[in-house]
Each structure stands twice: as structure tokens, then as C-alpha cells.
Chain A
Amino acid sequence: SQTIHQWPATLVQPVGSPLSLECTVEGTSNPNLYWYRQAAGRGLQLLFYSVGIGQISSEVPQNLSASRPQDRQFILSSKKLLLSDSGFYLCAWSGLAGAQTRTQYFGPGTRLTVL
């Protein structure tokens, strides 16, 4: 069965510090991968998605970047965090089996607080 992992679960970082959040998927190959941000009490904002190694699409201009160094690894980064980067970050995957429907499966999330 497929499993998605995210770490860390919580993170408190000072403004101007770098960021690296990691997401890995097990039990599937060639997944589509997604990074979302969720502000408190709000919906999900798609930040990046990837359909293959090294292929990253950015949805909104921002202080963040994403990379996919391996098939089942997706990394969200920032060189210098802003206060506005605080939020709940969710990684998700969708697979070939759901190619027509794009059903997504979510990780447990990372709570980022920038102070």
C-alpha cells in the first residue's frame, strides 16, 4: 500500500532563515506530487506540482521553491523566510490509477511558524 511522509511535523523558524521541508512517497512509482499551503481556517492554495523528476510547475509567485531530486521525493525550500510564509504545508500525491480523476492523497502536514 502507498504511504506518504512529511517532516518535520512542526517547525518554528526566525524571519530570514532558510527552510527545507521534505515529502516522500512509498509504494508507488511516477506519482504526481503537490505542495499546498493552508492558512488558518482557510482552504488550500496550490504552490507547486510535479509530474516527473526535475519537472516543477509553480502556481503562484512567492518566496518559495520546490525540487524533485528523486521520483518519490519532493522538497519545498526557501532561502529567506518571511512572516507571511507561516502556515500549514501539505504534500500530496496522485497516481496513474487516478489519472483520469486526479484523486489526491495527503501527508500529515508541517506546521510552520515564522517569528
Chain B
Amino acid sequence: SQQGEEDPQALSIQEGENATMNCSYKTSINNLQWYRQNSGRGLVHLILIRSNEREKHSGRLRVTLDTSKKSSSLLITASRAADTASYFCAIGSNDYKLSFGAGTTVTVRA
């Protein structure tokens, strides 16, 4: 199964700024999901976008999907200190599994 690759590996922003991270993959997908992991904790599901969707919103999160470029982006608007975490994209194919990338570590400075 394929993995998503996130970019950048790390991101440092000021509180109130927007944070954007990207995920690229190589073959066809059923869906693409984004998860957040606070240090030393389990992952929390943030948002899912299906292969036939182009954009989804959830609160301050906006996810786009471009299947022609095999890429997705996650935008966090008006960042807060509590958004400091690692963010992972996960590729959902036509089986029971998700394939996770290595993640983007986001630090929001007060």
C-alpha cells in the first residue's frame, strides 16, 4: 500500500497566522484523511475528503484534493497555541487499511 508524503516536515508560525501543509501520493485513492497527534498521545481524526471531492471545511480547517496532481493540502486558519501538534495525512484505498505519512510538525508561537 502507498504512503502519503507530507511537506514541509516542520512549520513554525506566529499565533493568528495560517498554516498550510501538503500531502502527495502516487496511485489512485478512495479517500484521504488528516489526523493530528499531540506530543506523546494517540492520533485524532480531523477531516476526510473522498476522491470525488475537491474541498472540505471543518471549523478552521480547510482541505483540498487534486486527484490530477495526486496531492492534498490542509490549511489551518487563525492558528492558536493549541494547534501545536504533528499532522498526518492518511491514504485510504479499497481495503481495510490506511497508509500514513511521516507527518508535519507544526509549532505555533505565542
Which residues from chain A sit less than 8 Å from chain B, CB to CB? 32, 34, 36, 41-44, 46, 49, 51, 88, 90, 92, 94, 100-109, 111
B98 at the interface (CB under 8 A from A): yes
Name the contact of B96 in the complex, choosing from A42, A43, A94 (C-beta under 8 A).
A94
A-B contact count (CB 8 A): 59
| Of the residues A90, A94, A101, contact of B43 by C-beta under 8 Å | A90
Q: Does A49 contact B96, Cβ atoms closer than 8 Å?
A: yes
With A and B bound together, what is the CA distance between A49 and B1 in angstroms?
Answer: 14
Contacts of B1-52 to chain A: CB distance below 8 A: 3, 30-31, 33, 35, 40-45, 48, 50
Query: B102–A108 contact, CB under 8 A?
Result: no
Taking A43-B103, A102-B92 as given, write out 10 further A-B residue pairs in contact, using a Cβ cutoff of 8 Å, ordered by the A residue number: A43-B101, A46-B99, A49-B97, A94-B96, A101-B31, A102-B30, A104-B43, A104-B98, A105-B45, A111-B40
Q: Chain B: interface residue count, which band?
A: 20 to 34
Interchain CB contact under 8 A, B100 and A109: no
Complex: A105 Cα to B43 Cα, angstroms? 7
Contact across chains for A43 and B42 when beta carbons are under 8 A apart: no
- The main secondary structure of chain A at its interface with chain B is strand
Contact between A90 and B88, CB atoms less than 8 A apart: no
Chain A residues within an 8 Å CB radius of B92: 101-102
The reply to whether A108 and B96 contact each other, CB–CB distance below 8 Å, is no
CB of B96 within 8 A of CB of A51, answer yes
Residue of A51, A100, A104, A111 touching B45 (CB-CB under 8 A): A104
Q: Are B96 and A102 in contact (CB under 8 A)?
A: yes
Q: Would you list which residues of chain B between 69 and 110 have a CB under 8 Å from chain A?
A: 88, 90, 92, 96-103, 105
Q: Contact at B42–A102, with CB atoms within 8 Å?
A: no
Across the interface, which residues of A come within 8 angstroms of B35, CB to CB?
Answer: 106
Whole-angstrom distance from the CB of B71 to the nearest CB of chain A?
A: 17
